[in-house]
Structures are given as C-alpha cells and as structure tokens.
C-alpha cells in the first residue's frame, strides 16, 4: 500500500486541528489504514495454513509483474535478448515431464505431509535460465533439501547436453535424506554428496556455477565462498539464495572485484515476503 492521496492528507490536516476530537479521529484513520494491510496479510496466512502442508522452504509462484522483473534481471546478468530469456523461462514452465515427476514423487514420498505437490519454481526459474545461457560444466549447490532446485538445474543441464554442451550438477547437504526428488533421467547429470559443505567444497575443482543455499548464517556463507574461491573457473557465477537476509555475497563481490546483481521476489498469493537472488559475475 502506497502513500495516502493528497486529498486524504488534506482531510487529515483539517481533522487534526479539531479540539480534542481531531487527534482521536486521525488516530482511528491511521489504525484503519494499517488494518487494511494487516487484514490482507492475515487472509493470505490463513489460506496458506488451510491449503498448504509446507513448514519450511516455502514454494510459490511469482506475481506477473515480478516475473517480468526477473526477466529484466536475467537480461542484465546474461546479456541475452529479452526474447531469448522469456523463451527459456517458458521452457522450464512448460516442462510437462518435470512437472509430472515433482507432483507424483512428492505425493509418494515420506515427506508428503510436509510438502506441496504442485511444482512452483519462483526464483529457481532464474537459476534455470542462467544454466541454459552460460552452459556451466559443473554446478554446485550447497543445501539441497528435497531437491526441487536440483531437478530444475538438472533439467537445464540435460537440455545443454542434448545441444552439445554437457555439464553436471553436484548437490551437497548434511541431511542424508536430502535430494529425494532426484530420479531418472535427471540423475544422468546430477548427484548429491551428503556431508558438511565446509568439509566437501575443498575437494572440488573448477566450479563454474556455485549456489549457496545451505546454513544461512553470514559467517558460514562467507566461509563457503572463501573455500570455493580458488576453485572457481575464470567465468564462474556465484549465487546466494539468501541475499535478502545476508550481505556475505556482496562482501565477497567487493573483495574479489566481481559484478553484483540482486533480484527480490514478490510471491503471488502467499504471506511470505519472498527471498532474494544475489549474483556475482566476473
């Protein structure tokens, strides 16, 4: 909700000058303005409580306007034409095989009562486009959870492979159950290591795309970047899925003199305010 129109401000100024009653009326006016916003948020929260099963790592769609903003962000990040970016976004959204897999695998999983079956990719659409445009040979994601992002990234890598640019996804998660969504054919280009990211990152070489989505403490996040730094290729991308709550990637970008871009989500019909993509490029 934006600022009050000029006519409303004028009425408030006239009311507040009334003896005794004026301040009370203005206070009520302000309370009504706040309540209109809070009531909308409360309605969304009630609908989520009624219809969703998720307890963390919420999934949702983006608002139409925010989807356009994501496309603009990707144009800036990749240098690709807007028409190409939009075509790649639709490519993921229209992937019927991935959609059906996520739906059926979720319903059949032990976490079915804690997960929503309908695939909603939100900012992960951006991950997909980045992989399709830059064609990395090794994508590393720290923090896999059920593996929705892993499947999205693997789908992009499968298409790249079919077009003559093979690549592999490696997920790292300390939870031994993480990544249960990954299955054939996505496992042809994707695998998951179970263990501490700070212990495993040092064993890798030539990372082309690093995605931080593990423990979201700024010190842990920065430590991941420091460990990965000597292992990044000359054209590597580094993305933070926690850039709305941490400045670790921004500090890493300044230290390494890399370009930094940011995209903020606006979820559609969800009480959660959304996450942010922080992205650094050479």
Residue 2's pLDDT band (boundaries 50, 70, 90)? very low
The H-or-E segment that residue 198 falls in is helix 197-200
DSSP for residue 267: B
Total domain count, the chain: 2
pLDDT of residue 1: 42
Closest CA to 73 of 19, 126, 124: 126
Mean pLDDT of the chain: 92
Can you give the residue range of the structural domain that contains 176?
57-281
Phi–psi pair at 54, nearest 5 degrees: -70, 145
CATH code for the domain of 85 = 3.40.50.150
pLDDT at residue 86 greater than cutoff 90? yes
Q: What is the pLDDT, as a whole number, of residue 16?
A: 55
Burial 246-273 (b: 16+ CB within 10 A, else e): bebbeebbeeeebebbebbbbbbebbee
Q: Are residues 44 and 150 in the same domain?
A: no
Residues forming a β-bridge with 173:
194
Does residue 30 or residue 259 have the better pLDDT?
259
Q: How confident is the model at residue 211 (pLDDT cuts 50, 70, 90)?
A: very high
Q: What is the pLDDT of residue 10?
A: 66
Is the domain of 252 the same as that of 220?
Answer: yes
Mean pLDDT, range 226-237, rounded to an integer: 97
Average pLDDT over residues 224-233: 97
The answer to whether residue 96 sits within a structural domain is yes
pLDDT for 159-187, tens place per residue?
999 999 999 999 999 999 999 999 999 99
Residues 30 and 97 in one domain: no
Please tell me whether residues 244 and 174 are part of one structural domain: yes
Q: What is the CA radius of gyration of the chain?
A: 22
Average pLDDT (48-60) is: 93
pLDDT at 6: 47
Cα 200 to chain centroid distance, Å, stands at: 23
Phi first, then psi: what are they for 280, rounded to 5°?
-115, 145
Can you tell me the mean pLDDT for 5-9? Answer: 52
Check pLDDT > 70 for residue 5.
Answer: no
Task: Return the residue matching tokens 């979820």.
Answer: 267
Beta strands in the chain (DSSP E): 138-142, 168-173, 190-194, 207-212, 232-240, 259-264, 276-281
Does the N-terminal peptide bond of residue 185 adopt cis geometry, omega within 30 degrees of 0? yes
């Amino acid at each position: 909700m934006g600022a009050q129109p000029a006519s409303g401000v004028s009425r408030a100024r006239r009311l507040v000058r009334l003896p005794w009653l004026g301040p009370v009326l203005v206070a009520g006016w302000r309370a009504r303005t706040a309540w209109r916003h809070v009531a909308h948020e409360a309605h969304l929260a009630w609908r989520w409580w009624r219809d969703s099963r998720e307890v963390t790592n919420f999934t949702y769609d983006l608002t139409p306007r925010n989807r356009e903003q994501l496309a603009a962000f990707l144009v800036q990040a990749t240098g690709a034409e807007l028409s190409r970016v939009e075509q790649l976004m639709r490519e993921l959204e229209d992937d019927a095989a991935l959609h059906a897999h996520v739906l059926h695998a979720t319903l059949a999983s032990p976490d079915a009562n804690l997960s929503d079956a309908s695939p909603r990719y939100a900012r992960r659409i951006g991950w997909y486009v980045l992989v399709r445009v830059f064609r990395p040979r090794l994508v590393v994601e720290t923090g896999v959870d059920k593996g929705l992002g892993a499947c999205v990234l693997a789908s992009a890598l499968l298409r790249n492979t079919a077009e003559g640019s093979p690549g592999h996804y490696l997920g790292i998660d300390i939870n031994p159950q993480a990544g249960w969504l990954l299955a054939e054919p996505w496992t042809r280009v994707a695998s998951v290591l179970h263990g501490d990211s700070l212990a495993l990152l040092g064993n890798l070489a030539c990372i082309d795309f690093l995605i931080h989505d593990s423990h979201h403490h700024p010190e842990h996040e920065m430590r991941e970047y420091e460990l990965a730094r000597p292992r990044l290729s000359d054209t590597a991308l580094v993305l933070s899925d926690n850039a709305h709550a941490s400045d670790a990637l921004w500090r890493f970008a300044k230290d390494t003199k890399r370009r930094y871009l940011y995209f903020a989500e606006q979820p559609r019909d969800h009480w959660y305010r959304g996450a942010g993509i922080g992205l650094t490029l050479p």
